[in-house]
A and B are shown apart, each in its own frame.
Chain A
């Protein structure tokens, strides 16, 4: 009969889970590569294509989820655990899909409604302030048309 003692022993003698040092190092390089891609896009590519911001955000989400998958599956070892355990984590996590969609949709709707019914708010928050002296690290932006914000 499998007790805590036998489970403990199989975990302790190393090949209960086949601790794979190579896979860990490989996962590190994958995470580093994904992070570098995100940073290159975020620092050098995206600033030049502001109209495509939504597309870049989708890309960041996909890359971040990929990183999350690797950290959970390899570093936290969940990829090698028994299926039922994986499910107790994965199934509740699906709630996040609803959570994120519902609340961002709500936020967006609030924004739309407020702009529609509160034109003063709309004008106040979309009219650029003319800058006389640049703030620390701040480059002089050209004054853009109101509403041209991302």
Chain B
């Protein structure tokens, strides 16, 4: 914990210092993430509302059962598990990058940022394959080839929500990768060594963890429920 009060409470609101004991940019990043959390929350909750209002819905164990290069296979949820693992692992390498930043270890930051970027690109590649494969089967905005569980006729709500929400999330992953690449370039050029701190990496890290966090919920809503 940061330097805490010894005798008497710390006067956090007297001015001259950050009342939350973090720098301005970090606090603002947290507030941006809150707003983004409500945006994603609105998307996912509207998906839940429409699904609750429907009499039937496609079975994820049937729809999401393919795997790249495995042809006509039936491996429910395996591919999405790989995607989840990749994203969580890239979150770990991001934390390690932040840790190296705390120790002002430029080479360590570079190493872990590269791994994080690779993880992000791998996730995007997987998501692109998933989209392409579903599209090949006839799924797209406005087109749903999958029947509901129980073989009742389905609506395009399923594919509309799937592509919109995973697309919006994928867009966040893409922007996160771009930000991470910029962070990597700045680190290599010694920008943070000159500043004397790696707080930018921390802020980029918060954004990346948020992206991972959203995926955890998207994965649960679309693939498990």
**Which residue numbers of A lie inside 8 Å of B, CB to CB?**
1-4, 6-14, 16-19, 21, 24-25, 28, 31-32, 35, 38-39, 42-43, 47, 57, 60-61, 64, 67-68, 71-72, 74-76, 80-82, 84-85, 88-89, 92-93, 95-96, 99-100, 103-104, 106-108, 110-111, 114-115, 122, 124-131, 135-139, 141, 143-144, 146, 148-150
> Out of B2, B19, B77, which one reaches A39, CB within 8 Å?
B77
> Are A138 and B62 in contact (CB-based, < 8 A)?
yes
> Are A137 and B152 in contact (CB-based, < 8 A)?
no
Given contacts A75-B95, A96-B41, A104-B48, contact A88 B56 (CB under 8 A): no
B204 at interface by CB-CB < 8 Å: no
Binds A, one of B96-104, B162-170, B179-187: B96-104
Work out how many contacts link A and B, with CB atoms closer than 8 A. 220
What is the bound-complex CA distance between A53 and B49, given in angstroms? 17
B24 to chain A, nearest CB (A): 7
- Residues of A contacting B: mostly: helix
B9 to chain A, nearest CB (A): 12
Q: Which residue of B lies closest to A75 (CB)?
A: B209
> Are B225 and A43 in contact (CB-based, < 8 A)?
no
B39 at interface by CB-CB < 8 Å: no
> Are B66 and A137 in contact (CB-based, < 8 A)?
yes
**Which residue numbers of B lie inside 8 Å of A, CB to CB?**
1-3, 12, 16-24, 27, 30-31, 34, 37-38, 41, 45-46, 48-57, 61-62, 65-66, 72-74, 76-78, 81, 84-85, 88-89, 91-92, 94-96, 98-99, 102-104, 137, 145-153, 196-199, 202, 205-206, 209-210, 212-213, 216-217, 220, 223-225
B-chain residues with CB within 8 Å of residue A75 when the two chains form the complex = 91-92, 94-95, 205, 209, 212
What is the bound-complex CA distance between A150 and B148, given in angstroms? 10
26 CB-based A-B contacts, threshold 8 Å: A2-B18, A10-B3, A11-B199, A12-B104, A19-B98, A28-B88, A32-B88, A35-B81, A35-B85, A43-B76, A57-B224, A57-B225, A72-B209, A85-B20, A85-B22, A100-B45, A104-B49, A108-B53, A125-B55, A125-B152, A129-B153, A131-B151, A136-B72, A137-B73, A144-B150, A149-B55
Report the 3 A-B pairs with minimum CB-CB distance, sorted nearest first.
A107-B52, A2-B17, A107-B49
Q: Which residue of B lies closest to A8 (CB)?
A: B197
